[in-house]
Amino acid sequence: MEKITLYEFENRQVISMGKMIGKQSIVFEETPFILEGASVVGPKEGEGPLGKGFDVVEQDPMMGQDSWELAESLFQKEALQKVLLKAKMGKEEIRYVFAGDLLGQLIGTTFGILEYEIPLFGIYGACSTMGEAMSLGAMIVEAGNAENVIAMTSSHFASAERQFRFPLEYGKQRPFSSTWTVTGSGAVIISRKQGIAKITGVTTGKIVDYGVKDAQNMGACMAPAAVDVIASHFEDFGTAPTDYDKIITGDLGLVGKTILFELLNQKGYDISKVHMDCGIEMFDGSVQDTHAGGSGCACAATVFTSFVLKQLKKKVWKKILFIPTGALMSPISFNEGNTVPGIAHCVMIESV
């Protein structure tokens, strides 16, 4: 591929450094870099198998606040501060923040980044938010519209249970298909400056609805969307599972993983040898009582900004797909009898 892509459209000569490939992918030629990443989690996540790898383990999931929602905001605030510190950057060097969370009207983000006064693109893709934020951030940086942007998201076990199911005080039993929302926040700086890894392509997901109506089984809601975007990625780029050192889904958990493998097998793709799910890695289900695994926007975001980025930095993995997965569940539409559709966004990342 040539360094700069020139093509004609409607008799106008267009120069582009981003190149549309296939039906829904972009390949970057002037690749944007992941300059730095930061992860902040709560105590339960700190006790999990990946616990030592997070930048900060907060011992108080309330962060000294009176509400879970304000606590979640402070996780975002801390992740943003941490990633700036690690990159030795000031907030004025960040042109945009792409961020969102699971709470209605994105209040985790709103109150988390308020004081930084950085222009914000608020986004919502349920637990696929980190993939959406990184996709948009990479496109904006590559186009020369920013030198540095931050992609960030958060979730909180208690605020999510209240938002989507029941407040914790209700003491509801959790079925084995349920996942445990990760408390924490992950942030990356996407930059023109060379960093830990480079984003070489993105495949943007569609809404996929297989008709699942079980609010306690997010894995089943999200798996078909992950299948759709992963298969589209292979088609658009002409690649196969063996072309990647790891294919990392966000928070499908044990139930979703089984569905993912089965549906991808039906399309002729076997990813079982290179697959990893952040939700499955986050907790030790045998002692932490987390059932099908971890979930929430922060699940993919914190595992990516700790464990995954380290493997890329050490070149243990040279080329990966990162696919945060989201279940578009609304308590209102769910209570009205509607299904829970899913969406997933795929980011191709390579070591430098």
At its nearest, how many Å lie between a copy of itself and the CB of residue 251?
16
320 is a site residue for a copy of itself (CB under 8 A): no
- In angstroms, the CA 183 to CA 75 distance is 8
Contact 186, 324 (CB under 8 A): no
Q: Which two tokens stand for residue 69?
A: 């929602």
Residues 7-26 that bind a copy of itself (CB under 8 A): 7, 9-10, 12, 14-20, 24, 26
* Residue placing its CB nearer to a copy of itself in the complex, 100 or 294: 100
* Residue placing its CB nearer to a copy of itself in the complex, 131 or 293: 131
Per the DSSP assignment, residues forming a β-bridge with 327 are 342
Per-residue binder mask for a copy of itself (CB under 8 A), 191-210, x = binder: -xxx---------xxxx-x-
The residues, ordered by sequence, that sit 6+ positions from 44 with a Cβ below 8 Å of its Cβ are 61, 157, 180, 183, 283, 288
At its nearest, how many Å lie between a copy of itself and the CB of residue 220?
17
Torsion of CA 114, 105, 174, 344, to 10 degrees: -100
At its nearest, how many Å lie between a copy of itself and the CB of residue 142?
7
User: Which range in 36-44, 47-55, 278-286, 322-330 contacts a copy of itself by CB under 8 A?
Assistant: 322-330
Contact 37, 187 (CB under 8 A): yes
- The count of chain residues that interact with a copy of itself, using the rule CB under 8 A, is 73
Q: What spatial distance separates the first Cα and last Cα of the chain, rounded to whole Å?
A: 19
Residues 76-135 that bind a copy of itself (CB under 8 A): 95-96, 100, 103-107, 110-111, 113-114, 117-126, 132, 135
Burial group, residue 349, by CB count within 10 angstroms (0-12, 13-18, 19+): buried
* Residue placing its CB nearer to a copy of itself in the complex, 135 or 290: 135
- In angstroms, the CA 258 to CA 279 distance is 13
Contact 348, 321 (CB under 8 A): yes
* Residue placing its CB nearer to a copy of itself in the complex, 39 or 135: 135
- In angstroms, the CA 196 to CA 132 distance is 20
* Residue placing its CB nearer to a copy of itself in the complex, 56 or 118: 118
- Unique residue bearing structure tokens 């929430």: 296
Per-residue binder mask for a copy of itself (CB under 8 A), 323-342, x = binder: -----xxxxxx--x-x--x-
Residues 52-81 that bind a copy of itself (CB under 8 A): 66-67, 69-70
* Residue placing its CB nearer to a copy of itself in the complex, 95 or 313: 95
At its nearest, how many Å lie between a copy of itself and the CB of residue 210?
12
223 is a site residue for a copy of itself (CB under 8 A): no
* Residue placing its CB nearer to a copy of itself in the complex, 312 or 327: 327
Per the DSSP assignment, residues forming a β-bridge with 295 are 181
Among 52, 144, 168, 315, indicate the residue that binds a copy of itself (CB under 8 A).
144
- Unique residue bearing structure tokens 């959406």: 132
Burial group, residue 254, by CB count within 10 angstroms (0-12, 13-18, 19+): middle
Residues 147-166 that bind a copy of itself (CB under 8 A): 147, 162-163
Residues 252-311 that bind a copy of itself (CB under 8 A): none
**Nearest partner of 275 among 238, 311, 310, 322, judged by Cα:** 322
